[in-house]
Chain A
């Protein structure tokens, strides 16, 4: 399945825009009550603020001109009360809408993260870490900016604008219609231009993602850049990404900035229209001069929020482009679903491969006709030249991938019928590249282990002692509380492998795969590891992938994996002969 976000098919793309919008509405639906309340607050607030100038005008006309100061004070009092209510509704509207925005952002981020957790390993292999981080962070932040800063103004402006629009139409329908002609032009202009603007922003966001991926890759591997004298190379690659970003950013910036001058021009054109058409109407005797003066300011009331909308529209376009990039992730579905139907095939072994084929990309087959059988409590070794398919086989055992053809059976049932929880509890896998989280050694060896969720240090020490892991823990200066920073060089690869080993053993799986899990550990410590493995309950089936032969000498059965095929090797001696004579595919 294609998980590469930058190479989605157009069909996948098309599907996304429609579905994404639906999903956005779903996210809002929980906030319906707040949205209604906010809308009421906005309406009252805008109404009050629109009413203000009218009352001022009325006071001027009826009291100040006639020099009745008492009336001025009365209306001053009324205005004071109105302004006070406007303040309250203003507070309510900002608080409600901002709250909606913040909670939506929270829901949205959680939804993306949750989706990331649902997606299979191949998704992460097909996308760059820097680009994904940019999508979850930068793109949600663009949405956040829109929600927390612009959405309020956006809605407020639209409401004020509609109010003012109705107002000028109701005073004089013909003059009103003339005054609104430029607004229609603005709407058309916006509709025509928006897709282009959005595209420009999408291109820019993509290059931001690319640049972030570039930085991420180079900085995390800085030692190679130094040791191979490629500082200039780093500069050049970054420079290219930077220039590309500059180019797209200018494109997006020019597109985004086109709205403000055009909206300004057309708003002014509207004033001119009102002035000239108004004078024409006055000369025909169907309008008065006093009315024209106020009419011009009402028109300003309509066009000012529209001008604001020009700036907001830009941030809306950026937000939409970001939303597209996010929804590309949200709409991906994992192809590793749990299935219901039980296949006819059954097996009495703990794990059995029946005529399994596998391909990563659907074209180049990596494994062909694999038949394997792992029984309870026995130890198996997979040996063979590099690139022969050992790790891929192990990944199928733990269902990091599904077989393209054939069946993988766990306890006689199709492995796909197990829930992830059940499967991972039965199958342990020590990966070739150990990964540690930032935290302590304790955090890391208990990572994802539901059994020991809340143990104290003392209890854990006891558990470790019972699992014979004491000597391994002793290798860490501060034992359980040794601090680890993910991705740093502060502890050695061998130590990382030890933590991964302890982590897997403490989970007590029925089947444990060790994929070159001890490759960087010295041979004396490794002997310790094999004695620990030997003491593991006789129930545990071990599948060991190793190049070092002493690691596999105790295997009950040895499989020779080469060119995507698996053969039973019989004795260690025979396996070695095959290994020595075997042609490397890679």
Chain B
């Protein structure tokens, strides 16, 4: 029990190592101001004594006292500045380290680590460490200083009475330990409840349109009340413990005072102690109690900070993805998948998928909902890794390519619209390699020119988060322009045409062929009509390749393909006319 705790503590204190000089300065100022504060009663006492002796002069008292309080003011003020600076710096550096680490991670890691948990790591966990730096260090140092100092003074005056008074330290410490060990469990629970609250809140914000469409506001409200009520009950349980703790501590310290009165009074009456010593005992008792309380509360702050630091450390220490890839070649554009399999838990998503696409060819992947099409594209771009099998680009495994170099040459249009709250220009020119020229070409190709020109600030118009100010088709075309702006050798489209009208779709695909002639295109789609002239169509069902070939071949060999074809036949007549 004791040992692991020691280790934990050393780890959070080790965080401070790089701020050693700041922390030392902080403690120094804290001790200085506390030390001088201890002198003040002496100056007053001296003044009174000298008045009694008739040697009172106003100037020295005034000067000494003023000097002391000005120094205290100066030191506490400096201490508060350093405290603010140090704690914010620790927090800022920690956040930078975290974001730096996260930014190097794989997509799979971020999904598994859960973005909302990472958000907590970057905000409230860092906050509790900030609290530790700004409050705990100084308070602990000055409290220990005061307790030890006052105890020594007490022992020097009268060791019997002193032991009686110092006995309150372990009693109060024990009460604290008992209550805090119970509270800690509750704190952990209340963090879980807060996570629950967060989930309800964020889902109700992200799903706000749906909630209004089905009038489920009351339902959400009740969900929230459940979580909120639980949070209140936990809060009340924690409160009950603290409500008992503090009066007990006050009571115990009052008992110590009583002890001084009765026992000390006895000593005074029996002449084994002077009245002055008796008075000193009373004032030092007051000095001891407050630091004990502080240490108790701060031990809690330290415990919380330790827990937070452990959570942060687990993110910081997570294995980084290895980028052993060093190949910096320009891609020609041949893609090959060899025996790719993928499972989510027990559930197989892709089963031994193999296919190849020649450079500058067009390949379509067609298949029913939940066939694994999107996952296959993710594997092709290295967003997730297959459980087994290999992806080859120009005959070399994807892992051997330098990641940055690779992504610079592969464009990916995601199925779900992902629009950032930035200008349209930044949304499209999302990569740093985009030139004005390639930006313009991408905009032309995605048929966005008219749309952009109609906007008041043209390309500099800021798009709202989740792109709620844009129509579905506009979002999808911005995503396409984003992928084209990097001038890719290979373009992957995930159901791109779903939200674009046929007319626009056709023009866009023609534009792509015209403006990006050597592009290798791999397109997940639902529309047979768009892919009849593709070199290859792959039919994917339940994670397996059912059939492969061009449109004509599949019509002859694959009954499933024929069925899909017929399901679209009635209207494709119209579409083909165009």
Contact of B84 with A by CB under 8 A: yes
Contact of B88 with A by CB under 8 A: yes
Q: Which residue of B lies closest to A398 (CB)?
A: B213
1/0 per residue B164-203: CB within 8 Å of A? Answer: 0000000000000000000000000000001001110111
1/0 per residue A118-140: CB within 8 Å of B? Answer: 10110111101110110011100
Contact flag A265-B72 (CB < 8 Å), given A94-B243, A547-B501: yes
Contact flag A584-B119 (CB < 8 Å), given A90-B246, A226-B407, A493-B416: no
Structural contact, B498 and A519, CB atoms closer than 8 A: yes
Chain B residue contacts of A431, Cβ below 8 A = 209-210, 213
Structural contact, A234 and B257, CB atoms closer than 8 A: no
Taking A56-B261, A113-B204, A424-B215 as given, write out 17 further A-B residue pairs in contact, using a Cβ cutoff of 8 Å, ordered by the A residue number: A95-B243, A208-B123, A213-B465, A219-B102, A222-B111, A228-B482, A229-B432, A238-B95, A257-B80, A388-B471, A390-B471, A420-B215, A425-B215, A431-B210, A433-B417, A516-B499, A524-B368
Structural contact, B213 and A87, CB atoms closer than 8 A: no
Contact of B355 with A by CB under 8 A: no
With most chain A CB atoms within 10 A of its CB, the pick from B61, B72, B501 is B501
Interface segment out of the listed B44-52, B144-152, B330-338, B509-517:
B44-52
Contact of B388 with A by CB under 8 A: no
Contact flag A289-B48 (CB < 8 Å), given A80-B258, A99-B239, A125-B469: yes
With most chain A CB atoms within 10 A of its CB, the pick from B77, B199, B498, B528 is B498
Q: Complex Cα distance A475/B577, Å? A: 34
Contact of A196 with B by CB under 8 A: no
Structural contact, B40 and A229, CB atoms closer than 8 A: no
Contact flag A242-B95 (CB < 8 Å), given A117-B220, A261-B76, A387-B451: yes
Structural contact, B368 and A400, CB atoms closer than 8 A: no
Structural contact, A137 and B107, CB atoms closer than 8 A: no
Chain A residue contacts of B61, Cβ below 8 A = 275-276
Q: Complex Cα distance A232/B430, Å? A: 11
Which B residues, 381 to 414, have Cβ-Cβ distances below 8 Å to chain A?
381, 383, 403-404, 407-408, 410, 412, 414
Contact of A421 with B by CB under 8 A: yes
Q: When the two chains form the complex, which single residue of B99, B470, B526 contacts A523, counting CB atoms closer than 8 Å? A: B526
Chain A residue contacts of B203, Cβ below 8 A = 437-438, 486
Contact flag A136-B201 (CB < 8 Å), given A216-B119, A261-B77: yes
Q: Complex Cα distance A497/B498, Å? A: 13
Contact of B575 with A by CB under 8 A: yes
Contact flag A113-B564 (CB < 8 Å), given A95-B239, A217-B421: no
Structural contact, B250 and A86, CB atoms closer than 8 A: yes
Q: List 5 A-B contacts (CB under 8 A).
A: A49-B250, A67-B269, A109-B224, A229-B407, A584-B447
Which are the 7 A-B pairs with shortest beta-carbon distances? A386-B473, A448-B216, A494-B369, A253-B84, A90-B247, A257-B80, A448-B214
Q: Complex Cα distance A212/B205, Å? A: 15
Contact of A411 with B by CB under 8 A: no
Structural contact, A253 and B370, CB atoms closer than 8 A: no
Q: Which residue of A lies closest to B238 (CB)?
A: A148
With most chain B CB atoms within 10 A of its CB, the pick from A86, A215, A245, A275 is A215
Contact of B299 with A by CB under 8 A: no
Give chain B nearest CB distance to A582 CB in angstroms: 8
Q: How many A-B residue pairs have CB under 8 A?
A: 489
Chain B residue contacts of A184, Cβ below 8 A = none
Main secondary structure of the interface of B (DSSP, over half): helix
Q: When the two chains form the complex, which single residue of A94, A435, A490, A507 contacts B242, counting CB atoms closer than 8 Å? A: A94
Chain B residue contacts of A388, Cβ below 8 A = 471
Contact of A576 with B by CB under 8 A: yes
Structural contact, A132 and B205, CB atoms closer than 8 A: yes
Give chain A nearest CB distance to B24 CB in angstroms: 19
Chain A residue contacts of B251, Cβ below 8 A = 83-84, 86-87, 90
Contact of B92 with A by CB under 8 A: yes
Chain A residue contacts of B224, Cβ below 8 A = 109-110, 113
Which range holds the interface residue count of chain A? Answer: 35 or more
Chain A residue contacts of B219, Cβ below 8 A = 447-448
Structural contact, B473 and A269, CB atoms closer than 8 A: no
Interface segment out of the listed A7-15, A26-34, A57-65:
A57-65
Which A residues, 535 to 586, have Cβ-Cβ distances below 8 Å to chain B?
547-550, 553, 572-573, 576, 579-580, 582, 584-586
Q: Complex Cα distance A277/B48, Å? A: 12
Which range holds the interface residue count of chain B? Answer: 35 or more
Q: Which residue of A lies closest to B72 (CB)?
A: A264
Chain A residue contacts of B532, Cβ below 8 A = none
Structural contact, A524 and B205, CB atoms closer than 8 A: no
Q: Complex Cα distance A258/B464, Å? A: 39
Chain B residue contacts of A52, Cβ below 8 A = 254, 257
Contact of A293 with B by CB under 8 A: yes
Q: Which residue of B lies closest to A108 (CB)?
A: B228
Give chain B nearest CB distance to A513 CB in angstroms: 9
Q: Complex Cα distance A538/B568, Å? A: 25
Q: When the two chains form the complex, which single residue of B254, B265, B450 contacts A586, counting CB atoms closer than 8 Å? A: B450
Structural contact, A73 and B239, CB atoms closer than 8 A: no
Chain A residue contacts of B368, Cβ below 8 A = 494, 522, 524-525
Give chain B nearest CB distance to A468 CB in angstroms: 17
Contact of B58 with A by CB under 8 A: yes
Contact of B206 with A by CB under 8 A: yes
Structural contact, B229 and A106, CB atoms closer than 8 A: yes
Contact of B268 with A by CB under 8 A: yes
Structural contact, B221 and A226, CB atoms closer than 8 A: no
Chain B residue contacts of A63, Cβ below 8 A = 265
Which A residues, 448 to 498, have Cβ-Cβ distances below 8 Å to chain B?
448-449, 475, 477, 486-495, 497-498
Contact of B326 with A by CB under 8 A: no
Give chain B nearest CB distance to A292 CB in angstroms: 7
Q: When the two chains form the complex, which single residue of B80, B110, B278, B404 contacts A64, counting CB atoms closer than 8 Å? A: B278
Contact flag A121-B430 (CB < 8 Å), given A95-B240, A129-B465, A549-B574: no
Give chain B nearest CB distance to A183 CB in angstroms: 16
Contact of A195 with B by CB under 8 A: no
Q: Which residue of B lies closest to A547 (CB)?
A: B501
Contact of A429 with B by CB under 8 A: yes
Structural contact, A228 and B261, CB atoms closer than 8 A: no
Q: Complex Cα distance A261/B247, Å? A: 29
Contact of B25 with A by CB under 8 A: no
Structural contact, A94 and B246, CB atoms closer than 8 A: yes
1/0 per residue B267-305: CB within 8 Å of A? Answer: 011000001001000100000000000000000000000
Chain A residue contacts of B563, Cβ below 8 A = 524
Structural contact, B206 and A487, CB atoms closer than 8 A: yes
1/0 per residue A272-294: CB within 8 Å of B? Answer: 10011001001000000100110
Q: Complex Cα distance A230/B110, Å? A: 15
Contact flag A94-B239 (CB < 8 Å), given A79-B258, A228-B482, A242-B95: yes
Structural contact, A224 and B266, CB atoms closer than 8 A: no
Chain B residue contacts of A103, Cβ below 8 A = 232
With most chain B CB atoms within 10 A of its CB, the pick from A223, A258, A282, A421 is A223
Give chain B nearest CB distance to A136 CB in angstroms: 5
Structural contact, A586 and B473, CB atoms closer than 8 A: yes
Chain B residue contacts of A572, Cβ below 8 A = 574
Chain B residue contacts of A360, Cβ below 8 A = 469
Contact of B459 with A by CB under 8 A: no
Structural contact, B567 and A550, CB atoms closer than 8 A: yes
Structural contact, B236 and A99, CB atoms closer than 8 A: yes
Q: Complex Cα distance A60/B414, Å? A: 84
Q: When the two chains form the complex, which single residue of A117, A125, A228, A519 contacts B486, counting CB atoms closer than 8 Å? A: A228
Structural contact, A265 and B69, CB atoms closer than 8 A: yes
Contact of A372 with B by CB under 8 A: no
Chain B residue contacts of A88, Cβ below 8 A = 247
Q: When the two chains form the complex, which single residue of A86, A91, A130, A289 contacts B51, counting CB atoms closer than 8 Å? A: A289
Contact flag A56-B282 (CB < 8 Å), given A73-B262, A121-B209: yes
Q: Which residue of B lies closest to A364 (CB)?
A: B456
Contact flag A475-B369 (CB < 8 Å), given A254-B81, A573-B574: yes
Contact flag A126-B464 (CB < 8 Å), given A102-B236, A435-B206, A448-B214: yes
